[in-house]
Amino acid sequence: PVPVVAVVGRPNVGKSTLVNRLIGRRQAVVEDTPGVTRDRVPYDAQWTGRQFTVVDTGGWEPDAKDRAAAIAAQAEIAISTADVVIFVVDTTVGATDVDEAAVRMLRRSAKPVLLVANKVDNAALEIEATSLWSLGLGEPFPVSALHGRGAGDLLDKILELL
C-alpha cells in the first residue's frame, strides 16, 4: 500500500500551501480565510521515485462546536489513518494554546509526528523556529511553504520516516 502523510494544524498556519509544495502542484485550496478545507483531501505525491499520499485537513481546534467540531473530527480521522503526521505551526506567531492542545491530541494518537515550523521565509526567522522546541515534539523543521524554502529537505525527511 502507498504510505499516507497527514498534514494537520490550527487554521491558517499554511497547511494547504504546504500540501501544494509537497505534491508539486497547486491543487489544495489556499485561503486567507480560515476553515476552507472542511474534509480530508488526499493527493498523490512522488519524490525521488517514491510514491505516497498527502492528506490536507481543515484547521484543528480543541473543544470545537458545530461545523468546527466536524472539521476537527475529520482531522483526527486523517491522523488515525496516517503513517506519519506533519504538524504545522506558524513560526511568525509562535506556539499558541491551540498548538499545545493539538500536541496533547497528537500524543494520544501515538503516531510519528514531524514538527514543521512554517512561514520561515528568511534566515532571520530560523531563530524564531528554534523556540518551537518548547512544544516537546523534537526538532522543528523550518520551511517556507509559500516560497519553497526547505521543501526539498522536508521531503527527504518525510521519506526517511515512511
Q: Which residues are annotated as a binding site for GTP?
A: 9-16, 56-60, 118-121
Sole window of 10-18, 72-80, 97-105, 109-117 interacting with ligand GDP (rule: CB under 6 A): 10-18
Helix axis angle for 97-109 and 66-80, nearest 10°, is: 40
Least distance between ligand GDP and beta carbon 49 (Å): 26
Place of cell 500524543: 107
Which residues are at the interface with Mg ion (CB under 5 A)? Answer: 15-16, 37
Least distance between Mg ion and beta carbon 137 (Å): 21
Q: Please give the single-letter amino acid code of residue 122.
A: N
Cβ(36)–Cβ(112) below 8 Å: no
Biggest alpha carbon distance in the chain? 42
DSSP annotation of 98 reads H
Q: What mask, x for binding ligand GDP by CB under 6 A, covers residues 69 to 98?
A: ------------------------------
